[in-house]
A = this chain, B = another copy of it.
Amino acid sequence: MRPFSAIFVPDELAEALSDRAWLEAMLEAERALVNAQSLAGLVPAHAATAVTEVLRAELYDVGQLAAEGRAPGNPVEPLVRAIRARAGDAHAEHVHRGATSQDILDTAAMLVATRALRFIDAELAATADACARLTAEHRGTVMAARTLLQQAVPTTFGYKAAGWLAGLVEARSSLTALDLPAQLGGAGGTLAAMGDTGTEVARLYASELDLREPVLPWHTRRGPFAELAAALSMTAVAVAKVARDIVLLAQTEVGEVSEGDGGASSTMPHKRNPVQAVIADACARHARASAALLVESGVHEHERAAGAWHAEWAALNGALAAAGGSVAALARSLDGLEVDAQRMRANIASATLSEAERFGLAAEQPEDYLGSTDAFIDRALALYRGAR
């Protein structure tokens, strides 16, 4: 639904969020279920093997599943029917046994998110690397600190980049701290159809999937989505802060940075637009909005929500796509960002020194008024190294 999506969302990420990727994740959940039930003795081993053989994505038509999913309101119901048909009468009863659609879809959501987060993390690492380089390289590059967009006192570009770096590292930490759970509760969250082995199956299921085993089923307790939303919006904010600063520093009248291959204009070939920073900013807006919708959709009635659950799927995909798009665009912006140290120095209006003067200090060299920037730079770089 995003027009010209490739402008904003890298192909690899788009692939990780595609219907095909969701189908594969749903099949993985079904596979983990039957394997767990086999290990727990609920399903004979040969039956589990027979079932897993038909759990291959190429056997199913994603478009058809979506179309058939409109009547039951989700794609799991037609998928389970299709799997059972392929498994044949002998094994149909071992497919999706004791599970509910939401078990499969919630688990798939966690798997899809896990893979998309890998992409996002790699791009975020690239942005951090770039900021660390800028921090180190421009430790002594004097420029004006600007408050309310007015020049205030001297600072260095290295220190500005250190602030960007700290934000990106913190965002990355919030993403890597996520510990996403599997979902298995059955129709009412009670695992009633699994007899005495319910919790054991749930443990094995999570283990098969390499997801966390939750304390209880979380069909209507949407902490995992809220935590994803929080980490993705923190990421979007950290990215947008850098992007906004780049756009401001790249203004014609400021001219302190420029994107290596600034965007062409259809009418104005002389311009060198900070396009990737602009894309990062646009994507970050979407990421925050999708994340807020994910939180807003977190109030679920009784044992399965009538609307809020269905709203989560696109909100999650949207938040991952947009957050990832923003990070990737910032990585492109920072990659080869040109810094004009001379212009930075030249732009310092004499006014910016008066603060220093007010404290009785001489004012000939802005370098004399950099305070603790070096110490703070060291701390940011240490934070960065610690997070790698």
Contact = CB atoms under 8 A, between A and B. Distances in A.
**Which of A74, A190, A198 counts the most chain B CB atoms within 10 A?**
A190
Contacts of A238: 221
A248 interface: yes
Contact of A303 (B155, B188, B198, B267): B155
B223 A302 contact: no
B167 A237 contact: no
Interface string A252-285: 1110000001011111111111111111111111
Contacts of A227: 230, 234
**Oligomer: number of copies:** 4
B275 A72 contact: yes
Interface stretch (A119-127, A204-212, A306-314): A306-314
A117 interface: no
A75 B1 contact: no
Interface stretch (A31-39, A47-55, A376-384): A376-384
**Which of A77, A187, A234, A292 counts the most chain B CB atoms within 10 A?**
A187
Smallest CB-CB A-B distances: 10 pairs: A145-B188, A281-B307, A192-B371, A147-B304, A230-B230, A282-B310, A198-B372, A190-B371, A6-B66, A73-B275
21 contacts: A1-B17, A1-B317, A1-B321, A2-B313, A3-B75, A4-B69, A72-B275, A76-B266, A100-B266, A146-B301, A150-B251, A151-B253, A152-B187, A167-B221, A170-B221, A195-B371, A241-B300, A268-B354, A274-B306, A283-B311, A289-B292
